[in-house]
Structure 1
Amino acid sequence: MSRKQKADLTLLAVAICFIGSSAALYFHPAWWTRLLFYMTEAGLVGGLADWYAVTALFRHPLGIASKHTAIIPRNRIKLIDGVVTMVETQLLPPDRLKEKLSDITIMDTVIEWIDDRFPRGALGAAGWKWATSLLAKFDFSRIAAGWDSQLKQLLRRTDITPYAGKALNALLEHGNIHVWLDRIIEEIEKRTSSPEAKAFILQLLQKEHEKQLNVGNAFTRFLKKAASIFAEESDALNLEDAAEALYRDLGQFIQDLKRHDHKLRLLLIDTLRRLAADLNQNRELAATIEEWKLEVLERITLAPSIEALLAALKNLPADAEEQPAPELQEDTGQQQPATAAPSSGLLGLRSGLSNLIENYWAQFKQDEAKKLWIEGYIKSFLTTVIDKEHRLIGQIVRDTLNAFTEKRLIAFIEDKVGEDLSRIRINGSLVGAGIGALLYTFLHGIYDPLLRLLGL
């Protein structure tokens, strides 16, 4: 049962009691029937007065229109203006907003919220997921073309020689140059160990042989060809054997290069060190590199590679792992279908970005100076907004209340204060009954005896 229903039942009960006390006083006049009549009469008057007052706030009591009823609907504009003024000048004035803003620590709240929402390890995955979802909304071909153009323009304007020297120095000092050389040698070994490499050596020897036979005048060329035929017939000149020997020597040479103390490796490293120093000082070398850079930029396009990289990043899930090799089913011996595994490079990029986000977040939480700077910047920005846009608070309140229809406004106010208004009505009946009892006690217990005592 709602408070309003209780108030209506209370008023009805007081009205019934008033009728009953009136009948009791008429048929059986006595002190207690008079007391009951006084109480119910005063309670009924108080209850009716409060019912009329509360009802008159929202509508016309009993449908009778008056300039003193339906106060809220008739004064809707004044009410909205009053609420707006109260919010702007009393509840949320600029000075109070600035005072509250200075009391709170924005960054601590933000850090606590992020830590609660993203436990250790989840922030990096969320960052990667956000990045890939953002990529899914882009036109990769257009972006790749734009990035290709901007990257080329940046490279054209930038002198890469100092950066190349620094990068080469860093590689020599911290990058374990022998690891890179081992990879290069392994790649060379793969390419030279194939039968095609031996055929290529034989082809080079044959071309050089033909070239030497055709150098000189006619008589010299005749003598060379005759000597060549004689050497081949006597097996003194065998290009296939020479190619085989060169092929074996090349393989042995590559095997020797795998030793870290090989003289050629050491000479190459020393040459790279001198080259790194020259890159920062030798202007002629710098000019040569600049010319080579411009020539390369004119010939190549990075757009396809950028587009392929963006597409691969978009399709790489946040929880992607290395896929195991396909296994054979025991019962059928058929190969199980498997989805394409992401490349190790993309997985490494995802892992690197996730670790970067996690490490930066951990460092940021420990950097009090940076947090204070961001806190100050945010508060300064919000203070400026308060000074310039404080009127928007009142405008928002005004627009919100103006959107309310008359019925909706009445329902809204009744929903917020209806319980208190109904309590006032109940108290009106109860307080009225109490006042009636006091009046009866005063009139018949003090006033009447005093008049009789005075002979009046």
Structure 2
Amino acid sequence: MHAVATGLLVAMAGLYALASSFERPGNIWGFVRAFAEAAMVGGLADWFAVTALFRHPLGLPIPHTAIIPRNKDRIGDNLASFLRDNFLTSSVVARRMSGLDVASALGRILAAPPRDGRLRSGGSKLAVTILEALDDEQLGTLAKSAAAGRLRALEISPVMGQMLTTMIAEGRHRPIIDAAILWAGRTLEANEPILRRMIHDRAGAILRWTGLDETLSNAILDGLSKMLGEMIETPDHPLRAKAEEGLAKLAHDLQHDPEMRARVERLKLEALANPAITGWLDRMWQSLREALIRAARDPARAVSGGFGEALRQLGDTLQKEPRLKLPVNRFTRRVTVGAVAAYGDDIVKLVSETIRGWNAQTITGRLEAAVGRDLQYIRINGTMVGGLVGLAIHMIEVLL
């Protein structure tokens, strides 16, 4: 475009010379000469104006030329002020964010993950980089402290009581009783020699002398085995009913008995202080971190299983449930406004100092390249408009 604009100016000069040589009073070449003469003036004037923005025309230090290089620091400060006053203020960002439904947008992404491989790959690489860059020890300590803190703050006794009550109401406690009976049967069978020895040692001398201790042992062990078998086979066995009554009382006490609740709370705190629990939290955190990294490295596989189905359900809920969308949007707005309030001045300072650090040639080249073709269109338009104005003036002269 620079060559076109310059070539047009040269063409007007050639046309002016040609028209001047053929011009005679009253012929058409006078109009051509007037057009070309005015076009040269318009083209030269706009060339000077465009050049004066970025450098000295022909290298001459003419006043009020090379405007941008001489004022680059002021331009940088004004641009930074413009950003601060019109974009990076809490009120502007809050007003803009109030019209954005971030929760629905996030829900659409989760419900229908993008198929663009580059987007998915880029997001995966970013997630892996963040997870691997974060200090594992500090992050793990933070996660474990948060989990332990939530457990300490949560009174688990009523929760356990409600769960047990629900299980009894739905009949889901019966497999637990069956498992306990089977465990008792296996324990009895495995420890039969020990039980026989205990009966033998506690039997009187007469029983041992007559050998009735062995008969007594058989009767006791057979009776226990028969009773456990009947409990498994008979759903309405009296002992099973007693066990169910005990579970129901336990569920009630967990929810309403202050002494039971305090006892469970003490056991919970003792368990959290146990090194075994701390080790279990360590292993749980490591497993979770490794699972997150694996999922991020292979997002297609991650979103195809149960985890992916859970994400899609969450996405549908985010789009349809106003009670969930409201806190998500509110949180996003608060975080964004807070970030602007905290770092807006730093961003403005970065813009100003970056432009100040550029030399005159750098800012001239970047601005000139950014404006690009339009600068040369100014020259072309100036040449053509100047020619038309010159032609109009010449026509007025001839008519008058």
Same fold (TM over 0.5): yes
Deviations 1:63-121 (A, max 9, x none): 222223212212223333444455555788877655544444444444344444379xx
Partners of 1:136 and 1:94 in 2: CA distance: 31
**TM-score, normalising length from structure 2?**
0.72
Pick the aligned partner of 1:256 from 221, 230, 253.
Answer: 230
Amino acid at match of 1:271: G
Out of 191, 196, 202, the position equivalent to 1:205 is 196
Q: Alpha carbons of 1:107 and 1:141: their partners in 2 closer, same or farther (altered >3 Å)? A: closer
- The answer to which of 77-86 and 140-149 deviates more is 140-149
1:377-421 per-residue CA deviation (whole Å, 9 max, x = no partner) reads: 654665677788766675454345334432222122222333222
The aligned amino acid for 2:241 is: L
Distance 1:422-1:115 versus aligned 2 partners, 3 A rule: same
Is 1:51 matched up with 2:47?
yes
C-alpha distance 394-33 of structure 1, shift in aligned 2 (>3 A): same
User: 1:436 maps to what in 2?
Assistant: 390
Shift of the 164–212 alpha-carbon distance from structure 1 to 2, 3 Å rule, reads: same
State the Cα deviation string for residues 349-391 of structure 1 (Å, max 9, x = none).
Answer: x95x777665555444433244335545654665677788766
CA distance in 2, matches of 1:182, 1:295: 30
Q: TM-score, normalised by structure 1?
A: 0.64
Residues in 1 aligned to 2:11 and 2:225: alpha-carbon distance in whole angstroms: 114
Any idea what the Cα deviations from partners look like across 1:177-236, whole Å, max 9, x if unmatched? Answer: 21111222333444555xxx2xx32343234424546xxxxxxxxxx37x745x35xxxx
In structure 1, the residue matched to 2:14 is: 16
Across the aligned residues of Structure 1 and Structure 2, the Cα RMSD in angstroms comes to: 4.7
Q: Residue 408 and residue 178 in structure 1: after superposition, are their counterparts in 2 closer, same or farther (change >3 A)? A: same
Q: How high is the sequence identity, in percent, across the aligned residues?
A: 24
Written as runs of structure 1 = structure 2, the 5 A alignment for 1:323-342 is none
Change (3 A) 1:55 1:364: closer
Paired amino acid for 2:248: R
Question: What secondary structure does 1:117 align onto?
Answer: coil
**Structure 2 vs 1, CA of residues 312 and 186 (structure 1 numbering), >3 Å: closer, same or farther?**
farther
CA distances 1:242-301 after superposition (whole Å, capped 9, x unpaired): 666655544433321212122211121123323444555666666776777788778773
Note if 1:446 corresponds to 2:379. no
Q: Which AA in structure 2 matches 1:428?
A: G
Which of 349, 359, 364 matches 1:405? 359
Distance 2:388 2:96 in 1: 47
Aligned amino acid, residue 280 of structure 2: S
Matched, 1:6 2:4: yes
- Quickly say closer, same or farther: Cα 1:251–1:228, change in 2 above 3 A: closer
Alpha-carbon separation, structure 2, partners of 1:428 and 1:294:
85
Structure number having the greater helix percentage = 2
Cα distance in 2 for residues equivalent to 1:110 and 1:314: 23
Count of residues in correspondence between the two structures: 379
| Higher alpha-carbon Rg | 1
Q: Is the 8 A contact 1:144 1:306 kept in 2?
A: no
Q: 1:264 to 1:144 in 2, by over 3 A?
A: farther
- Between the aligned partners of 1:304 and 1:174, the Cα distance in structure 2 is 35
The more displaced of 393-402 and 382-391 is: 382-391
1:67-146 map, 5 Å: 67-87=63-83, 99-117=95-113
Checking the alignment, whether the CA contact within 8 Å between 1:22 and 1:37 is kept in structure 2 is yes
**Which residue is equivalent to 2:278?**
303
Q: Secondary structure at the match of 1:302?
A: helix
Instruction: Please state whether the residue corresponding to 1:31 is helix, strand or coil.
Output: coil
Counterpart of 2:27 in structure 1 is 31
Change (3 A) 1:162 1:370: closer
In 1, Cα distance between the equivalents of 2:132 and 2:372?
53
Q: Please give the alpha-carbon distance, in whole angstroms, between the structure 2 residues aligned to 1:388 and 1:297.
A: 38
